[in-house]
Amino acid sequence: MDAARWKTIKELLANALDRPIAERAAFVQNASADAGLRAEVMDLLEAYETSGALRSLAADDREYELAPGAEVGPYRIRLPIGRGGGGEVYRARDTRLQRDVALKLLTQSSSHDEGTRRVREARAAAQLNHRGIAAIYDIVEVDSRAAIVMEYVSGDTLADRLRSRAPDPAVVIGVGVEMADAVAHAHAAGIAHCDLKPGNMRFAADGSLRILDFGLARRPASVSSCATEENPSTSAVSGLTASSLDGLALGTPGYMSPEQLLGQAIDCRTDVYSMGVVLYEMAAGRRPFLADGDNDMATAVAVLSTPLPDLPRDVPRKLRSVIVKCLGRLPEHRYRDGAELRDALTSIAAPSPWRLGWKA
């Protein structure tokens, strides 16, 4: 699809989205004599109405590398979903199995070794089998670049829901248990996510949480222990440094651990810190460390030097204690891994039907 046609589709999509749902189909049918173009816009509208992910796309003037209709192996691109530091994400159709998937086109590798590492780590992550982790289906190549094909989860992200309203403590605990349980499964396999944040967590149709982007998680060549002398049995990753990977800082500054920001060795406790930030944000309605303008460098300085702000008084004492421990500035002050955090959250309160009480 050429750029001019994609521009026309985006303009028609934006105009359709400005109309009431009941009027959109008729508007599209009357807006163009090109039946193929109308069909493509209707496909995008259907995707929007099931995932709510397209309004920002319609207003985004930057071009995505893959246009709707492009074919990547057996996968046909339906629409872009978003972009980030790791690459561009698309909703695509698996023409063999007739199911929708998420396809992440990774940014260009700076070296052959880097590209090889990315593929190796995606293969390792593909071995994870947990209902809380979006499955990795395939790795394909697009003009010498890797693309990771993953399970498509159509619901709201945790970030979407937090913009709507803050959850009550029972929901914080329920979401936290599912999050920590999924991450514990990865830690047991020697894999650290390194970029846990609300935007990488999405709710499936049944309300359960899925963690995305494990295809970009990190696993060094050897797996050892991140246990302390007092707790020698914990299996996790170690010896990995943030500064040694891709020549770039990994993660999102507001959710990164101090050691990650400093380029020091990281292990499963880095994920524990990030989960602590997510728990804090759910409980308080804001991240613990915010800088003026949300500038990345200023945020990093705040994480490294500002005392942890107090949580609101209505946060239960036991939940407050768990969150504070996750956010220990030194790794040895945190929970050892996702399993220990999960157990700590589970011990606070009996499971409750939290999914029924919190919608975006």
- 71-79 contacts at long range (C-beta below 8 A, 24 or more positions apart): 72/103, 72/140, 72/142, 72/147, 73/138, 73/140, 75/101, 75/103, 75/140, 75/149, 77/103, 78/43, 78/44, 78/47, 79/43, 79/44, 79/47, 79/54
Write down the pLDDT at residue 241: 45
Supply the mean pLDDT for the chain: 81
Instruction: Say if residue 230's pLDDT is above 50.
Output: no
Which of 72-86, 134-148, 178-192, 222-236 is predicted least confidently?
Answer: 222-236
Note if 195 is an active site residue: yes
Write down the pLDDT at residue 45: 75
What predicted TM-score, i.e. pTM, was given to this entire model? 0.77
Write down the pLDDT at residue 238: 40
Write down the pLDDT at residue 226: 45
Query: Predicted confidence band at 283 (pLDDT cuts at 50, 70, 90)?
Result: very high
Instruction: Say if residue 59's pLDDT is above 50.
Output: no
Write down the pLDDT at residue 243: 44
* Catalytic residue (one of 195, 213, 271, 337): 195
Write down the pLDDT at residue 329: 94
Query: Predicted confidence band at 233 (pLDDT cuts at 50, 70, 90)?
Result: very low
Span 273-294, mean pLDDT?
90
104-137 tens-digit pLDDT? 998 876 556 666 767 777 787 888 999 999 999 9
Write down the pLDDT at residue 213: 85
29-38 tens-digit pLDDT? 998 888 888 8
Which of 8-17, 100-109, 276-285, 320-329 is predicted least confidently?
Answer: 8-17
Write down the pLDDT at residue 359: 62
User: Higher confidence at residue 9 or residue 150?
Assistant: 150
